[in-house]
Amino acid sequence: MNREEYLADVELAWCPGCGNFAIRTSLAAALAQLGLPPHKVVLATGIGQAAKIAHYVNLNGFNGLHGRTVAAAAGIKLARPDLTVIAESGDGDLYGEGGNHLLHNIRRNVDLTVIAHDNRVYGLTKGQASPTAPRGYRTRAQPAGSPSAALNPLALAVALDAPFVAQTFSGEPDRTANLISQAIQHRGFSLVNVLHPCPSWNRVQTFAWYKERLVHLDETGHDPGDQGQAFAVATRSGEQIPVGILYTTDRPTFADGHPVLSGDPVGLRPLPSSDVVRSLLTTFF
Ligand SMILES: Cc1ncc(C[n+]2csc(CCOP(=O)(O)OP(=O)(O)O)c2C)c(N)n1
């Protein structure tokens, strides 16, 4: 399949200039690169501008509750390990409301790819500071500046030993597609944090602002196999923004050796024949 075939022919309700358009195209390019048939891929999203992507691509979609994106994706993956499962949403959804699901599914190491659309604001609800907004960041809802320190999703994921941690910029669609494709191929929990401008609500981190600050890790001699180096890169303060693969490792996934999950996909096993289970299932469904 080529890239265009993954893109749904529908009207896209995003603002002109939003980075979401490019991220959608990069996702399609990554799936085309891997030759993944759409019926073998599930895209789980939550609520927000970014989360609308489930409706804008030709894939199996699960558009769930705000903050529950990773929980839904983890459930789908554990029931159907034969499918490629991607969780994609905004930084508010994944790191704010969904923070707890994120950290425990990294810890469990469910074999998922999480793509975070990081615009540093809650876009859909009109631009409040999101967890990645820096302290002092002014919005209409926080005119005196956000009183909270920013969450550092890269440092969090590296510290929790997530098997694949990367950051990219929506304005570099080819690099973004390559990183998404590597994240999907890497076994275990993968996080790709995609920085993107929000022309409607974020007037500080613009397209040009990012372009001036990006540092491509593959040009710096960075060793993604070194957790200490990855943590240092993730927490380095200053004006430079690292993009590329920060960290990779291999460790057993949640399903590896699990007494129930290993073997045939749980979601494809025949229903249990016990009368009790059958009557419960027929009562509720
Ligand atoms: C539990 C819950 N809290 C809050 C909301 C309201 N709400 C809906 S979308 C949203 C912000 C989404 O921001 P983000 O996830 O960063 O995505 P963006 O719109 O910026 O792409 C909020 C706060 C909600 N629907 N449910």
- State pLDDT tens for residues 104-120: 999 999 999 999 999 99
Tell me which residue has its CA closest to atom 16 in ligand 1: 92
- Outline where the chain has alpha helix (H): 20-34, 53-56, 69-79, 91, 99-108, 153-159, 173-185, 207-213, 227-235, 275-284
Output helix, strand, coil percentages for the chain, rounded to the nearest 5: 40, 20, 45
Residue 183: Cβ within 10 Å count: 25
- Reference 161, options 256, 249, 87, 252; nearest CA is 249
DSSP 63: E
117: domain range?
3-284
Instruction: Say how many Å lie between the CA of residue 170 and the centre of ligand 1.
Output: 20
Tell me which residue has its CA closest to atom 26 in ligand 1: 66
Work out the pLDDT band at 285, boundaries 50, 70, 90. Answer: low
128-129 and 113-118 beta bridge pairing? unpaired
**Domains in the chain: how many in total?**
1
> Above 80 in pLDDT, residue 275?
no
Asked if residue 25 has its Cβ within 6 Å of ligand 1, the reply is no
pTM score of the predicted model: 0.96
- Tell me how many degrees the CA angle 77-80-85 measures, rounded to the nearest 5: 40
Q: Which atom of ligand 1 is nearest to the CA of 124?
A: 19
CATH code, domain carrying 44: 3.40.50.970
